[in-house]
Amino acid sequence: MKFVGVQDDKDEWLKSELPALEQLFAMGYEYQSQAELNKNRKDYREVLLYDRIEAAIRKHNPDIDDDGIYDALSQINESSFPYTLDPMEANEKIRAKLVGLSRSGGLEPITVTKTLEKVMRRKLSNCLTLIILKIMIS
């Protein structure tokens, strides 16, 4: 497998980035270059791969309907955060929502409402969080 990366600092590439990619690949993570990933984005500035996240939500939460899935996606969509927000801070807010780190300050875990015979709230499973993080890395 040939890994492609920004090699502005060859020492960091050889000692840190390349070994990390090799380890993740050996653990079963899928590798795609930046160019390949950009083909799956509506805008090259998008960090999250929404098609993959949606597929993971559908796979691991089959009881959530389309409205619930789109609701969950909208809660982590980068466009829902102010453009003036530092990208690292926006990333941290999205991550906190995905893993449910905070219960206050607008960082509650992602929840969706589904109507059956009664209204119930469902927290997306931690398993989904791990899959989303795996998708974001690959």
Lowest model confidence (mean pLDDT) among 16-20, 28-32, 79-83, 106-110 = 106-110
Q: Considering the entire predicted model, what is its pTM?
A: 0.62
Report the alpha-carbon distance of residue 23 to residue 85 in Å, rounded: 33
On whether residue 129 sits in a domain, the answer given is: yes
What are the start-end ranges of the E strands in 3-138? 111-115, 119-123
**Which of 53-67, 76-90, 93-107 ranks highest by mean pLDDT?**
53-67
Q: Which domain holds residue 61?
A: 48-137
Percentage with pLDDT > 70 across the chain:
72
Mean pLDDT of the chain: 75
Report the alpha-carbon distance of residue 68 to residue 105 in Å, rounded: 23
Report whether pLDDT(4) > 90.
Answer: no
On whether residue 6 sits in a domain, the answer given is: no
The pLDDT of 72-80, averaged and rounded, is 84
On whether residue 22 sits in a domain, the answer given is: no
On whether residue 71 sits in a domain, the answer given is: yes
- Which one has a higher pLDDT value, 16 or 79? 16
Number of domains in the chain: 1
On whether residue 122 sits in a domain, the answer given is: yes
Report whether pLDDT(130) > 60.
Answer: no
What is the predicted pLDDT for the residue at 28? 93
On whether residue 132 sits in a domain, the answer given is: yes
On whether residue 15 sits in a domain, the answer given is: no
Q: What are 102's two structure tokens?
A: 């905070």
Report whether pLDDT(118) > 50.
Answer: no
On whether residue 56 sits in a domain, the answer given is: yes
- Quote the distance between the C-alpha of residue 40 and its chain's center: 14
